[in-house]
Structure 1
């Protein structure tokens, strides 16, 4: 179904799929050769006054898909590397409209290339295993995972130069205050960790390495939602930030199904959609 905004709305019954990359990464391939990027587009810190450069999903896929200075494969490990320049006034990088910062970020899309637009009433989970090898000097550091609704950010996970991981949650419709710098974990620079960002049953939850942050937020019904992951530099200086991604899993299930909420595999023919992109044991 397509909304009035031209976005694809996930239907009440979603197909089941498990998509994975080869167990042995090829450092000579673009990231799309080691990860299935059929549900993501790429936003880059380059472009012009008309806007940033966006690489559509179809151009990211495969060993010969897009690769460049800000999005490439680590030459020895095969990890996906996302690099973002610092302060645009210093570096000259290009920002999205309304932003003061530059990014190398994957934005969730549907297989047809349209931006994803799901309802928070279902099960919606993004789980990412990564390491931040260089962090910016912003107050909370670089944003590594976000959830949006109607093109507006609802929440973001940040990683600072000191290895502090925090969550920012915008004010909700039911009156909860803007949450800034809510601590969720402390992970040394360069060390691998896994974060889980869930916006399911209209409740936002965040966990790092299996430990859930006690946000205790009320229900927050929202439509036209999507996830982002990668590297959104918040720095004051021109210092870049660098993120290396080992694996990520994207899961959606309709609210009506009530099945498979915590299953990464789901059931063939059921209403659970799972998209798993792995580079296990290579970080």
Structure 2
């Protein structure tokens, strides 16, 4: 299955890249499997949250510490895959494994959080998160990308893109800023260990998801009134067993 070609935008921030064989041209560049992720990819606009640390306060790595070929990596959770150069994110399982969650969540994660901008206006004409990835194991179910409401407004997401061990992809949409009333919508199916692409859009106060370059699936039933938001991308485990996600490309576009 061939992923779509992502159009270049002057405000694009290129985060990750991968081989010409499976990745759109906007992502394509040679990766050095011997480098930490920061040596291959520009992580200057993202912080990293790991499933380790103190209860209620997971370890967070700042963008400056991620930078460079000798920058931060964690052999258990966040590292460059030595075989294909992808950015591999692992989660060991649920809290029974000893992994650490935030105080507002019961789930462990290895996840990048957009920092610059720290939040943006959903009424703007362009707000997009694009990714190419392979889910090796979903641990039951994991969130591979999300839009989160600005922390000063709410601790709830706008939307979470879920992938389960059957390869079923859904999006969970909160209906209010208070949360607790999420509705789930089907997006499509991609088998485990198959590379695919997605694009999450929240622009003109309309939310949509594009899978493998297909027709955007719009979800407009929620009543959030366009709160300031930010993107997150990674492996935010919803299940109980270990999960592994390998990213070949991630691109954030605002404008």
Q: CA deviation at 1:224?
A: 3.0
Distance 1:158 1:19, change over 3 A: closer
Deviations 1:111-158 (A, max 9, x none): xxxx71111111210000101001112xxx100000011232110000
2:160 is equivalent to residue 156 of structure 1: yes
Instruction: Determine the structure 2 residue equivalent to 1:46.
Output: 52
SS in 2 for 1:117: coil
2:146 is equivalent to residue 146 of structure 1: yes
Q: CA deviation at 1:222?
A: 2.6
Instruction: Determine the structure 1 residue equivalent to 2:207.
Output: 204
Partner Cα separation in structure 2 for residue 216 and residue 222 of structure 1? 11
User: For residues 1-283 of structure 1, what are the structure 2 equivalents within 5 Å?
Assistant: 16=11, 19=14, 23-49=29-55, 51-68=57-74, 69-88=76-95, 90-110=96-116, 116-122=118-124, 123-137=126-140, 141-151=141-151, 152-172=156-176, 178-180=182-184, 182-211=185-214, 212-217=216-221, 220-235=224-239, 237=240, 239-253=241-255
Larger radius of gyration: 1
Q: Is the 8 A contact 2:12 2:252 kept in 1?
A: no
Let me know the Cα RMSD of the aligned residues: 1.9
Q: Is the 8 A contact 1:85 1:233 kept in 2?
A: no
Instruction: Determine the structure 1 residue equivalent to 2:5.
Output: none
How many pairs align? 225
Q: TM-score, normalised by structure 1?
A: 0.75
Q: TM-score, normalised by structure 2?
A: 0.83
Q: Is the 8 A contact 2:88 2:245 kept in 1?
A: yes
Deviations 1:1-31 (A, max 9, x none): xxxxxxxxxxxxxx84664768211111011
Unaligned runs of 5+ in 1: 1-14, 254-283
Q: CA deviation at 1:220?
A: 4.6
SS in 1 for 2:226: coil
